[in-house]
C-alpha cells in the first residue's frame, strides 16, 4: 500500500513501514503490514509515532491508541489524556498536560520506569532505554546503559527536542544544532559539520541513520516568521565574535560574525518562505 496524495504535517517510520499524519487529522500508512501496523483505526488524530512493529496515535481528545504488535502490553494504552506520544522499539511513552510522563510496554531494563515528579517537554524511547528533556531544558535517561545511552547524555540546558532508536539518541538545541550519542559501531554518520551553521528545526533517528530538517529561514533568529530589525539586533549583538554562543548568527560558516553574515542576512530580509 502507499500513501494517498495529501499534505502531511508529521511522519513516522517503523522497521519496514511508514505513517503520515495529514492536516485534517487522518493517518495514512504504507509498507510492511505483518503485524497489522498499517491497519490505521478510523478517527482523527493530532500526533503519531512508530516503534519496531507497532504504531501509536493520539486522538484529538488526547487519548493514545496503539495498533500492530501487542507484545509486552503495547496495546494496553493508559486511560489518561496526553499532549504528545512517542515510541521505543518495544515500548511507548507520552507526556501529560501537566508535563509528567507515562510509559508502557517492554520493561525488562526499566525503560518504562519513568522518573516520578519530573516534568518533561519531549520524550523518546530506544531499545532498552528511554530519554527525555526536562522542563528546564536538560536531558535525563533511564533504563539500560549498555550502549552508553545514559552515561553519554550531553550536558546543557538548551535542548528542545529529542529522539532515540536502538542504542542511539539525538537531541536538538535551541540554536538549531544537533548532538548525537550512544553506540558507535553501527556505521551511522555523525551529525554533519555544517549543521550548526544553518541549524535544524527538527531531528529524527532510525536504526542506522540520523536526519534533520533544516530551518527554511536561518536568518530569522527570533523565530517570528520574518527577517527584520529584531533579527538584525541579534546579529549585531554578536558582531566580531566567533559565534560560539549562538551558532545561528554565523550564517556563512566562516567562524566569525562579520560582513559575510550581514550579506547573507540582508539577502533574506522580509517574510520567510
Q: What is the pLDDT of residue 241?
A: 84
Is 104 part of any domain?
no
Is 258 part of any domain?
yes
Summarised one tens digit per residue, pLDDT across range 129-180 is: 999 999 999 999 999 998 888 999 999 998 989 999 888 899 988 767 788 8
184 contact partners, CB below 8 Å, separation of at least 6: none
Closest C-alpha among 69, 51, 55, 31 to residue 111: 51
Residue 257's domain comprises 226-271
Is 169 part of any domain?
no
Summarised one tens digit per residue, pLDDT across range 7-64 is: 788 888 888 888 999 989 999 999 999 999 999 999 999 999 999 999 999 999 999 9
Evaluate if pTM is beyond 0.85.
Answer: no
Is 250 part of any domain?
yes
Closest C-alpha among 154, 156, 152 to residue 182: 152
Summarised one tens digit per residue, pLDDT across range 116-141 is: 999 999 999 999 999 999 999 999 99
Q: What is the pLDDT of residue 180?
A: 87
Is 13 part of any domain?
no
Using DSSP, state whether 109 is helix, strand or coil. Answer: coil
Is 252 part of any domain?
yes
Using DSSP, state whether 93 is helix, strand or coil. Answer: strand
- The domain total for the chain is 1
Sign of the torsion angle spanned by Cα atoms 264, 266, 272, 273: negative
Is 143 part of any domain?
no
Summarised one tens digit per residue, pLDDT across range 91-119 is: 999 999 999 999 999 999 999 999 999 99
Geometric angle at alpha carbon 203, from 18 and 125, rounded to 5°: 70
Backbone φ, ψ for residue 263 (5° rounding): -65, -45
Is 241 part of any domain?
yes
Amino acid at each position: 500500500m502507499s500513501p494517498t496524495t495529501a499534505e502531511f504535517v508529521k511522519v513516522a517510520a517503523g522497521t519496514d513501514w511508514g505513517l503520515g499524519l495529514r492536516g485534517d487529522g487522518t493517518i495514512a500508512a504504507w509498507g510492511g503490514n505483518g503485524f497489522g501496523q498499517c491497519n490505521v483505526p478510523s478517527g482523527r488524530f493530532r500526533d503519531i509515532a512508530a516503534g519496531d512493529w507497532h504504531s501509536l496515535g493520539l486522538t484529538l481528545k488526547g487519548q493514545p491508541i496503539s495498533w500492530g504488535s501487542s507484545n509486552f502490553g503495547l496495546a494496553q494504552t493508559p486511560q489518561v489524556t496526553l499532549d504528545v506520544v512517542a515510541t521505543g522499539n518495544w515500548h511507548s511513552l507520552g507526556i501529560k498536560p501537566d508535563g509528567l510522563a507515562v510509559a508502557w510496554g517492554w520493561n525488562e531494563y526499566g525503560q518504562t520506569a519513568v522518573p516520578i515528579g519530573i516534568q518533561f517537554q519531549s520524550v523518546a524511547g530506544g531499545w532498552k532505554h528511554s530519554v527525555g528533556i526536562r522542563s528546564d531544558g536538560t536531558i535525563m535517561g533511564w533504563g539500560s546503559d549498555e550502549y552508553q545511552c545514559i552515561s553519554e547524555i550531553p550536558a546543557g540546558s538548551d535542548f528542545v527536542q529529542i529522539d532515540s532508536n536502538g542504542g542511539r539518541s539525538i537531541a536538538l538545541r535551541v540554536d538549531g544544532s544537533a548532538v548525537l550519542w550512544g553506540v558507535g559501531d553501527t556505521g551511522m554518520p555523525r551529525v554533519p559539520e555544517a549543521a550548526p551553521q544553518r541549524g535544524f528545526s527538527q531531528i529524527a533517528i532510525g536504526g542506522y541513520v540520523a536526519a534533520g530538517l533544516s530551518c527554511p529561514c536561518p536568518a530569522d533568529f527570533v523565530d517570528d516568521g520574518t527577517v527584520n530589525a529584531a533579527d538584525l539586533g541579534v546579529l549585531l549583538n554578536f558582531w566580531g565574535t566567533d559565534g560560539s554562543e549562538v551558532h545561528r548568527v554565523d550564517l556563512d560558516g566562516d567562524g566569525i560574525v562579520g560582513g559575510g553574515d550581514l550579506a547573507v542576512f540582508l539577502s533574506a530580509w522580509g517574510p520567510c518562505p
